[in-house]
Amino acid sequence: MATTVSSKPQTVLDNAEALLPTGAACSPNELSLDHPARMIPIAPFFASRLGVAYCGDSLEILKALPSASVNLVVTSPPYALHFKKAYGNEHKDRYVKWFLPFAKEIQRVLTDDGSFVLNIGGSYNKGTPTRSIYHFKLLIALVEEIGFHLAQECFWYNPAKMPVPAEWVTVRRIRVRDSVEYVWWLSKTPYPKASNLNVLKEYSEDMIRLNRNGVRGTTRPSGHVIRESFDKIDAGGAIPPNVTESEFDTPESMMKMGNNSANDLYTKRCKEEGIKIHPARFPALLPKFFIKLLTDPNDIVLDPFAGSLTAGAVAEQLDRRWIAGEAVEEYLKAGTFRFQGFSQNPMLF
């Protein structure tokens, strides 16, 4: 008989105060009894009121976490690009084999009603104007080998993406600019915790007009039945469809947002301190949408490939506890800048 695991995250460490580094944003006396720093017997790089960041091997950090202790994993690992990035990236031929050990641990640490949100970009095959299918192979392996369920596939439209590879897009002009990345929402069961009531957007002018004028029941040519209650707007907002615009506070299944901000607090502080800006940041709206959709306040959010701590900063703003893992110390150091503006402006990321 299957055992039901509680969705309440576990804590296992009583002396986390002794592990906090000098200069942490949160002093030892400020650690709550359910602070995430108490879950891993590893000295953290940085701790805030609600979260903790570790510098080291992400797989080892995952292995140190208790089972069924995390409500949401939202992350963007290095993509399998055919040219090497400064932060390191695995070759597409080895990518699935490289990532599956992380996936096994992610499934283990998730609560039964938890979710795993994976942002992953596509890649061209070297030397030809054809696309790799490594990310589709990964998705199949996550479902068929690890046992995840694909709750929904979403998309991030990044209008700031460069027109590359230049040979095919800007020189020979035989391909168009690749501006869309996949965001796969995976879960341990077919029914993970989720509520689209938390990510409603404003009703469109057409919906307001329908509400004002009323709707007659009918059947569309597609076979969909339109009932007279279709025009009701009692929910307080519209359910997000598959396409969105960046102006919306909460993005939808196709998320339109750039990642080239030059005036946010993080970028300004990096320039002031002479610290290298992370070259592949995802926008704050991406984790914000899924954190609101899939978690409740005080739940635990994990990003094992944390980069510049975007997901952690968003989780802190939304009153969720968080854990981050990152191998590059310089990226974490710069990521702490995101927490410095909370007292003045908690929306700065």
Q: What is the DSSP string of 110-171?
A: EEEEEEEEEEE---BPTTSS-B--HHHHHHHHIIIII--EEEEEEEEE-TT----SHIIIII
Residue 280, classed as helix, strand or coil, is coil
Q: CB-based burial of residue 270 (10 Å sphere; 0-12 exposed, 13-18 middle, 19+ buried)?
A: buried
The secondary element (H helix, E strand) that includes residue 329 is: helix 329-335
Instruction: Write the DSSP string, 3-34.
Output: PPPPSSPP---S-GGGGPPTT-SS-GGG--TT
What are the angstrom distances between the C-alpha of 19 and each of 41, 45, 305?
8, 10, 22
| Amino acid in position 270 | C
Residue 276 predicted with pLDDT over 70: yes
Interval 317-343 mean pLDDT: 88
Predicted structure pTM score: 0.80
- pLDDT surpasses 70 at 13: no
Report helix angle 95-109 to 134-141, nearest 10: 40
Rg (CA), the chain: 21
DSSP 38-49: GS-SS--SEE-S
Mean pLDDT of the chain: 79
Q: Could you tell me if 90 and 123 are in contact, meaning their C-beta atoms sit under 8 angstroms apart? A: no
Domains and CATH numbers, the chain: 16-196+241-339 (3.40.50.150), 203-236 (no CATH)
Looking up tokens 């996550």 gives 142
Report pLDDT digits (tens) over 79-111.
Answer: 776 455 454 578 889 999 999 999 999 999 999
Per-residue pLDDT at 55 exceeds 50:
yes
Q: H/E element holding 75?
A: strand 70-75
Predicted confidence (pLDDT) per residue in 166-219, tens digit = 999 999 999 999 888 899 999 999 999 999 999 887 655 554 555 556 555 566
Contact 310, 287 (CB under 8 A): yes
